[in-house]
Structure 1
């Protein structure tokens, strides 16, 4: 392994945490954001925060969005991820300010793209999303939100109104020193392709999805 050598032959200290690398305007179909790019020195992932308007320190509308290539880019109806991302971006624009932190390395709740596709194949055979991960010998949810908290700290955010149905995101932010003033539901109308997946998230992963009550079982 190559060592980092500084002046006078001394080793340069190894960086850790999220380092802000670039800030650039990003016009989107939702509005004009600032895209702030970070390098996570602990994991090697490149991260990005989309900031809209002038954000303060308190009660900032925030979404921590886990990377999902199939949902975000391909429009997969197996999950609701793409619709949630779009809804979050629309929400911060309607609010006038806010932050969407897009978390790389979170594909498939942290197991990676190929493993996620294998898990989806098992779900097509009848396993639910939890059973599929376990059948592959993988964790049900391997995501860590420490870098998201570091990014929010760097942006000067101390408390958030968190757009999420997942109680673990709230717990993780609080653990890392970001107060959650409110958890804002981000509910997407289910479809035939994702209703079983969403029910599993509610029943086995404690996601708050009360709108599923209106969908008859067997749909």
Structure 2
């Protein structure tokens, strides 16, 4: 795995001032947004890109709200958001929009991915280990509800910080499927 690492730059946001650094893995350019000391035990959010939720404010998912929660949490407590460029649970933006169209016809998020020939979740987290080693982070407090992230990083996790997002009429079924069929925690 060949990874290029950018310089560290300042990133003032509406949530506060952070530092930002990019890790280029082939055609994917991941981000680390961090604040405070990155000691041996760090608050970490691993967030996969969601253009519709993070940027456009889509109510079909909880991604944008999870990112906002995490930015506020890191601003207050210090830590890092590892922003992974793996849109639509790893199926890409084009396929995600096609999955949305299938959901508009009554399929749930998992059924839509399967209809398109994908697993329920195609994401991978190998780059996370590289990033944590780069910053010499050995123990983390992971901001997540996702059991896959907990399983992947179990050797490093000291504590899980739940991200509680209220359902709305557009994402109620989506959140229920994540909980009942994908094992997401509350």
Under a length normalisation based on structure 1, what TM-score does the superposition of the two structures give? 0.82
Does the 8 Å contact 1:64/1:103 carry over to 2? yes
4+ aligned runs moved over 2 Å, structure 1 = 16-19
Higher strand proportion = 2
Over alpha carbons, which structure has the higher Rg? 1
Does the 8 Å contact 1:160/1:180 carry over to 2? yes
What is the root-mean-square deviation of aligned Cα atoms in Å?
Answer: 1.1
Between the two proteins, the alignment pairs up a number of residues equal to 186
What stretches of structure 2 of length at least 5 have no aligned partner? none
Per the alignment, residue 208 of structure 1 pairs with 185
Among candidates 159, 173, 177, match of residue 153 of structure 2: 173
Matched, 1:50 2:33: yes
Q: How far did 1:173 drift?
A: 2.0
Does the 8 Å contact 1:146/1:173 carry over to 2? no
Q: How far did 1:19 drift?
A: 3.1
Matched, 1:199 2:176: yes
What stretches of structure 1 of length at least 5 have no aligned partner? 1-15, 210-219
Per the alignment, residue 38 of structure 1 pairs with 23
Cα distance in 2 for partners of 1:190, 1:110 equals: 23
Q: Over residues 73-112 of structure 1, what are the superposed CA-to-partner deviations in whole Å (9 max), with x where a residue is unaligned?
A: 00000001001101001001111x10001001x1110000
Cα distance in 1 for partners of 2:129, 2:150 equals: 11
